[in-house]
Structure 1
Amino acid sequence: MKKLLFLFTLVSAIGFSQNDEAYVDSLVAQKFAELELQQNQEYFYRKDYCLGKVMIFNMPDGNLCTSSSTYYAVYVFWKESDSVLKIQKFDNCGSFRPIPISRSKVFIKAIEDKEALMTGEVLPYKGEQVDENATGNMSVQSCHKAYKFVLDGEPFEKKFREYDLTNESKYKNVNAEHNNSLKLIKLDALLSELIKSFEDNGKFFRER
């Protein structure tokens, strides 16, 4: 009891905030509204989350911040010029500084087929066999990605479970090849590599 009281006193003294998905969505909506006012014709976000995953951070002002139930990381991308793309991260604890990157030919090619991005659907994991003697002890981490695009002024949304792209169950996922051939998933792989590089190298800095 004394340890709990001490922890509560410590948290109260240094400051503590806790924010949910609605808070993150509000920050991203503000950014989208700003891009819309600028009449930007190419912007989108990717929202990453694993249900039940909680994160806690030391903030620049010395306070603590944690996600409420689930941690959400949203990466907004927009065309700054013909040669420059910008990325900005948002999460349960606020916004990060925008980062300029090259709007490369690889990236342009990844999003140029808007119709393929719109119509391609990730199919659910389907094992090539049904295990009638399944023990039910295999756990599946419920990690998701959600996209919202505004390309040529036209908005559309896509989402999928990361598990549906894999072959991690006892039996081969018959939909894995289809899923991983989709334009959306190829774009997702490109973004994942970029985001991982920025995260690993500490490129995301919180705005004060």
Structure 2
Amino acid sequence: MKKLFLLICFIAGLQLSAQNDEAFVNEQVTQFTGKLESRGISQWFTTKRFCLGSIEMFQMENGRMCTSRGTYYEVYVVWEEEGTTMLKKIDNCGLFYSIPLKTNELTEFVTANFTDLEQNSVRPYKAVNITGKPESRTEVHACRRAYTFRKNGAEFQQAFKMYDLTTSDKNPNTNFEYNNALKIISLDRKLDAIIDNLQTKFKRQKQ
């Protein structure tokens, strides 16, 4: 009888909660960008933002709980449609409604700097030791960014650790100025500002 009760509780728990990993997020992004392509939108980009080991839990509209399985990932898809730049958020718990942006700053920036974004990547944190010779820092920085850019069938990726954009007085990062002057970092900071301003406007689609 006790085993039957535990089994019922286990099944009920599965019905009341969901756990989704990075593969789920990637699948949702692929499906959505595929729909963009089917509508004739051949230029778009995505940014995946995550901190390794960070877990988030949300209560969905249907009352169920959704928890990230392992790391929590949030992806933002940006594209232009009918003259308006659109932004969509996707995370471990599904899709959010698309939001029209007030300006086309993001898509215009990507178009103007497409080659630069492809060819110039963030360099790893490099510190100078007491001998004056550069050496790699081995400290782990958990938070990361991963970008995918697509234009007329051409596609490329860029990824970096947020740690590589920092420096310190004790062990200065010799790549600090180079990294922070990159177009990919300029784009990332533009997105930071836009996402921060939209926090109260992100609404989940019904699952």
Task: Give the match for residue 75 of structure 1.
Answer: 76
Stretches of structure 2 that go unaligned for 5 or more consecutive residues are 1-5, 132-137
- Equivalents in 1 of 2:88, 2:16: separation in Å? 26
CA distance, structure 1, for counterparts of residue 198 and residue 92 of structure 2? 19
Q: What secondary structure sits across from 1:146 in the alignment? A: strand
- Is 2:6 aligned against 1:15? no
Q: Distance in 2 between matches of 1:96 and 1:105?
A: 22
Q: For residues 98-113 of structure 1, what are the structure 2 equivalents within 5 Å? A: 98-105=98-105, 108-113=108-113
Q: Name structure 1 gaps, 5 residues minimum.
A: 132-137
- Tell me the SS of whatever aligns to 2:145: strand
* Shift, 1:187, TM fit: 0.6
Q: How do 1:1-208 residues align onto structure 2 when only pairs under 5 Å count?
A: 12=13, 15-82=16-83, 84-105=84-105, 108-129=108-129, 140-168=140-168, 170-199=170-199, 202-208=200-206
**Cα offset, 1:42, TM superposition:** 2.0
Q: Secondary structure at the match of 1:121?
A: coil
The 1:173–1:111 alpha-carbon spacing in structure 2 relative to 1, beyond 3 Å, is: farther
Residue 13 to residue 143, structure 1, CA distance change in 2 (3 Å): closer
* Secondary structure of 1:127 counterpart: strand
Change (3 A) 1:21 1:105: closer
TM-score, structure 2 as length reference: 0.85
The alpha-carbon deviation at position 168 of structure 1 amounts to 4.5
1: CA distance between counterparts of 2:31 and 2:169? 40
- For residue 111 of structure 1, report the CA deviation from its aligned partner: 3.8
> Identity of aligned pairs, percent?
37
Q: Deviations over 1:31-71 (max 9, x none)?
A: 11111112213211000011100000011111100000100
What's the C-alpha RMSD, in Å, of the aligned pairs? 2.3
Tell me the SS of whatever aligns to 2:126: coil
Cα shift readout 1:76-130 (whole Å, capped 9, x = no counterpart) = 0111123x11101000001000001134357513541211000011100011226
Q: How many corresponding residue pairs?
A: 192
* CA spacing shift, 1:23–1:103, aligned 2, 3 Å: same
Contact 2:143 2:162 in 1 (8 A): yes
**Pair 1:156–1:99, CA change in 2 (3 A):** same
TM-score by length of 1: 0.84
Are the structure 2 counterparts of residues 168 and 196 from structure 1 closer, same or farther at C-alpha, using a change threshold of 3 Å?
farther
**After TM superposition, where is structure 1 displaced by more than 4 Å over at least 4 residues in a row?**
none
Q: Distance in 1 between matches of 2:195 and 2:90?
A: 13
* One-letter identity of the residue aligned with 2:202: F
Please give the alpha-carbon distance, in whole angstroms, between the structure 2 residues aligned to 1:163 and 1:77: 25
Residue pair 1:111, 1:117 contacting (<8 A) in 2 also: no
The SS at the match of 1:172 is coil
